[in-house]
Amino acid sequence: MSETPVSQRYEREPAKRVFAAELRETTHHFKEGTEDKSPTFVLLPTGERCNRVFLIGLLTEKKKSDGDTVFYQIKVKDPSGFFYVSAGSYQPEAMHQIASIESPSSPESKTYIAVIGKPNVFKAPDGRVLVSVRAESVAEVDKGMHDCWILDTAECTLDRIDAADETPDRVKAKEIYPQLPEVWRRMVQEALNTIQI
């Protein structure tokens, strides 16, 4: 049995905590490496590359496709906006997890879910750049977990904003994205205002 050469081993990228508003503004995506399995990244406006995201929010909508292949789309709300999440036959675990979660029956019903997935940036026919998340794992969680996620995500976002080192990713983000750090600080403060600490 031969060993896989070191150059062909791949480590799974850690999932980044990011608010919906920042992910929604993400437009730059790139592949690192030339091999088929080289990871694809998005560059967050706060200057960090991201291959996977971890999000928690309220499930506001769940749709199942009516075609030959089963496909789910869900809409998840955090304090800053919406994440658009999907899972299909290539993500069978996530698809079954979404299927087992009850759809919101009314605006008063609150189902919090956690999602780990890969962000996808694509251009709509009208030219708009859209971002969605292809789910790898989905689980129902409680409000306490949701509030902890807001705290953790706020801290991670501020850490990205306040990072002193000028990495190539940070320099590129400043070139691409027009938003000033104050925009993201305000988003963080508004998110924190939604929970009791």
Q: What is the CATH number of the domain that holds 36?
A: 2.40.50.140
Q: Is residue 1 part of a domain?
A: no
Residue 153: the pLDDT is: 98
pLDDT digits (tens, 9 = 90+) for 98-122: 999 988 777 677 999 999 999 999 9
Question: How many residues are given for the chain?
Answer: 197
Q: Is residue 138 part of a domain?
A: yes
> Residue 95: is its pLDDT beyond 50?
yes
Ramachandran class of 182: left when φ > 0, alpha when ψ lies in -120 to 50, beta otherwise: alpha
The amino acid at residue 151 is L
Q: Indicate the number of domains in the chain.
A: 1
pLDDT digits (tens, 9 = 90+) for 178-197: 999 999 999 999 999 999 87
- Name the phi and psi angles at 68, rounded to 5: -65, -35
Residue 2 neighbours by CB distance under 10 Å: 4
> Residue 55: is its pLDDT beyond 50?
yes
Q: Is residue 177 part of a domain?
A: yes
Residue 1: the pLDDT is: 45
The amino acid at residue 41 is F
Taking the C-alpha atoms of residue 59 and residue 63, their distance in angstroms, rounded to an integer, is 11
Domain with 83 in it: 6-192
Q: Is residue 185 part of a domain?
A: yes
Q: Is residue 197 part of a domain?
A: no
| Pairing of β 112-123 and β 49-50 | unpaired
pLDDT digits (tens, 9 = 90+) for 1-36: 445 454 455 577 899 999 999 999 999 999 888 887
Taking the C-alpha atoms of residue 95 and residue 74, their distance in angstroms, rounded to an integer, is 11
Q: Identify the band that residue 47 occupies on the pLDDT scale cut at 50, 70 and 90.
A: very high
Q: Is residue 179 part of a domain?
A: yes
Residue 167 neighbours by CB distance under 10 Å: 12
Structure tokens at 53: 């995201």
Q: Is residue 154 part of a domain?
A: yes
